């Protein structure tokens, strides 16, 4: 058993349910998952939560993370060409501190608010920088 296993089993499902509850995530919510993969969304299925319309933007191909319910875009978030108003929420997990700047530089324009920081809803920094969910 990995040292991370207890954390994954205890905290991730609770964090996932809070994400859904606080942000009213439904099957029609359009989510951009920056640097993500299948883990979080597989967990949603295992918790009997509705799957939103998820687009994963990652610099690596899907490989073993390929799922029929995930749209996968292989690109660098700093240079992606996503149209405005394409997503309701942006989700990032274990990305660097510059997520806000990446999206601001790309003129990301979410549909629910003009305030970008309110739409980077779950952002977790690398462990060496401290880890905190922020809104």
Domain ranges of the chain: 5-55+86-129
Residue 101 has pLDDT above 90, yes or no: no
Report the pLDDT value the prediction gives residue 112, as an integer from 0 to 100: 41
Can you tell me the mean pLDDT for 11-32? 90
Task: Kindly report, residue by residue over 44-69, the tens digit of the pLDDT.
Answer: 999 999 999 999 999 999 999 999 99
Structure confidence at residue 102 as a pLDDT band (50, 70, 90): low
Of 103, 65, 105, residue with least CA distance to 87: 103
pTM: 0.70
């Amino acid at each position: 058993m990995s040292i991370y296993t207890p954390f994954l089993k205890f905290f991730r499902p609770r964090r996932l349910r809070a994400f859904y509850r606080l942000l009213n995530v439904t099957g029609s919510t359009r989510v951009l998952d920056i640097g993500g993969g299948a883990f979080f969304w597989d967990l949603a299925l295992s918790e009997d939560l509705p799957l939103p319309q998820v687009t994963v933007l990652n610099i690596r191909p899907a490989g073993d993370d390929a799922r029929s319910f995930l749209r996968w875009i292989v690109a660098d978030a700093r240079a992606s060409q996503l149209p405005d108003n394409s997503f309701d929420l942006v989700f990032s997990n274990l990305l660097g501190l510059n997520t806000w700047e990446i999206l601001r530089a790309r003129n990301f324009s979410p549909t629910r608010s003009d305030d970008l920081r309110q739409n980077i809803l779950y952002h977790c920094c690398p462990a060496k920088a401290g880890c905190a969910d922020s809104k």
